[in-house]
């Protein structure tokens, strides 16, 4: 049984689905990395605001102290918001990873099925070829033997047996 076109199309569809799942996963991972970088910037902004408050405490500049407090608060708000977004992005990455792995398994199953069918076909073809060679060889021997019997001559293998000396007869002479 040859591999059907439908099965090959199914494999192609699985390959495309796997590729789309992989791209979606890579995109989601990229988004997660971007959010993590933004979180690092928000934490840096919060630290910068606190440092500004400390510096303004030594210099006595009230506007710098207020700006530092506001920067620190804005950094903290951004960090809290980004942390929830990161948690959501991580769960989305996990879901997409599972979907990608499922598509990969489906593709591999289709590939294995096609390979199994091709292997089975190859074995069947090899057996047929061997059977044809065996039949040809047997028929060739039968044809030669029947032609020899028709002509009244002995087959070549029988004449060779006659020409070779009988070892049992020659052994007593040597002893």
Residue 59 lies in a domain: yes
Mean pLDDT of the chain: 86
Residue 70 lies in a domain: yes
Residue 156 lies in a domain: no
Which residue did the predictor score with more confidence, 21 or 143?
A: 21
pLDDT at 136 over 80: yes
Residue 158 lies in a domain: no
For 146-164, what is each residue's pLDDT tens digit? 777 666 555 555 445 455 5
Residue 76 lies in a domain: yes
Residue 56 lies in a domain: yes
- Count other C-beta atoms under 10 Å from residue 5's C-beta: 8
Residue 72 lies in a domain: yes
For 19-75, what is each residue's pLDDT tens digit? 999 999 999 999 999 999 999 999 999 999 999 898 888 888 888 889 989 999 999
- Count other C-beta atoms under 10 Å from residue 97's C-beta: 15
In whole angstroms, give the CA distance from residue 11 to residue 6: 9
pLDDT (average), residues 134-145: 80
Tell me what pLDDT residue 64 has.
86
Tell me what pLDDT residue 76 has.
95
- Count other C-beta atoms under 10 Å from residue 166's C-beta: 9
Give the DSSP letter of residue 60.
Answer: T
Residue 84 lies in a domain: yes
pLDDT at 171 over 60: no
Based on the structure, what is the number of domains in the chain? 1
Q: Is 152 helix (H, G, I), strand (E, B) or coil?
A: coil
Range of the domain at 34: 5-111
For 72-119, what is each residue's pLDDT tens digit? 999 999 999 999 999 999 999 999 999 999 999 999 999 999 999 999
Quote the pTM value: 0.66
pLDDT at 4 over 60: yes
In whole angstroms, give the CA distance from residue 153 to residue 144: 11
């Amino acid at each position: 049984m040859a591999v059907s076109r439908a099965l090959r199309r199914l494999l192609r569809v699985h390959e495309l689905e796997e590729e789309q799942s992989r791209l979606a996963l890579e995109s989601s991972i990229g988004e997660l990395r971007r959010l993590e970088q933004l979180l690092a910037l928000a934490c840096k902004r919060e630290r910068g605001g606190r440092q500004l408050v400390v510096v303004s405490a030594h210099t006595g500049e009230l506007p710098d102290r207020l700006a530092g407090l506001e920067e620190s608060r804005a950094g903290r708000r951004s960090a809290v918001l980004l942390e929830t977004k990161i948690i959501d992005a991580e769960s989305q990455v996990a879901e997409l990873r599972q979907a990608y792995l499922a598509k990969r398994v489906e593709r591999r199953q289709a590939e294995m099925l096609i390979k199994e069918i091709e292997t089975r076909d190859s074995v069947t073809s090899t057996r047929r070829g061997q059977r044809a060679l065996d039949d040809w060889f047997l028929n060739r021997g039968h044809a030669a033997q029947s032609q020899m019997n028709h002509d009244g001559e002995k087959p070549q293998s029988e004449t060779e047996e006659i020409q070779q000396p009988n070892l049992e007869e020659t052994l007593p002479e040597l002893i």
